[in-house]
Amino acid sequence: MSNQQEEIFLSIIEQNKGIIYKIANSFKKDENDKKDLVQEIILQLWRAFPCFDDRSKLSTWMYRVALNVGISSYRKEKKKNDVIVPLSETMMDFSEETETSPETQLSLLQQFINELKELDRALMLLYLEEKSGKEIAEILGLSEANVRTKTNRIKEQLKQKFSKINA
């Protein structure tokens, strides 16, 4: 990868660091596992970057790679020796404020999302990131109608969970 490409890649990661963290946070519970997943998503994005072409939007490509890595990693059992980069030096550092107190609504939302099945979780993350139905369909490989139906179903589930808690 040339220096110019490297700079472009780093700026893409900088602009999208939030979603990488959110995906890691949705597919891993343990803090060290989250750091590993962030590392793996960035590694796979790095590897796939030279093959990226303009046929799809950059965000579509990025979400596809990140979610594919997230789901694959979630479905695999954790191996202790997977971590090669020492944990004291990780690719993404989050300060203490990142974690909200368990009483907050946001924490509940995260918890509810983490309870969804992998594909529903991916869909909800994309919905919350304000991706259009068309782009969600492209990223997940579903029809737009299917995405609409599923989004409504999951939103309804989340609403019910919130109303149960607030009742």
Partner 1 sequence: MIKQLWQEYDQKLEKSLQLNYKIIREMQTKKIEDHINSFRRNQVLGVGVGILFTVFLGFLVINSLNNIYFAISIGLIALFNIFAVAAYIRHLAMLERISIADSITHTQEKLAAIQSSLNMVGRIMILQTPFWCTFWYNQQLVDHGGTTFWAINLTVVALFTILSLYLFNALTYKNIHRKWVRSFVESFGGKKIIKAMEFLKEIEEYKTEG
Does 164 bind partner 1 (CB under 8 A)? Our answer is: no
**Contact by Cβ (8 Å): 139, 63:** yes
- Written as six digits, the tokens of 70 are 């997230």
From residue 24 to residue 53, what is the string marking binding to partner 1 with x (rule CB under 8 A)?
---------------xx-xxx-x-x--xx-
Distance CA(135)–CA(11), nearest Å, equals 22
Contacts of 152-155 with CB under 8 Å at 24 or more apart are 154/116, 154/120, 154/123, 154/124, 154/127, 155/127
Instruction: For residue 102, state whether it binds partner 1 (rule: CB under 8 A).
Output: no
- Chain residues in the site for partner 1 (CB under 8 A): 1, 6, 10, 13-14, 17-18, 21-22, 39-40, 42-44, 46, 48, 51-52, 61, 64-65, 67-69, 71-73, 75-77, 79, 82, 84-85, 89-95, 97-98, 100, 105-106, 109-110, 117-119, 122, 128-130, 138-143, 145-146, 149-150, 155, 158, 162
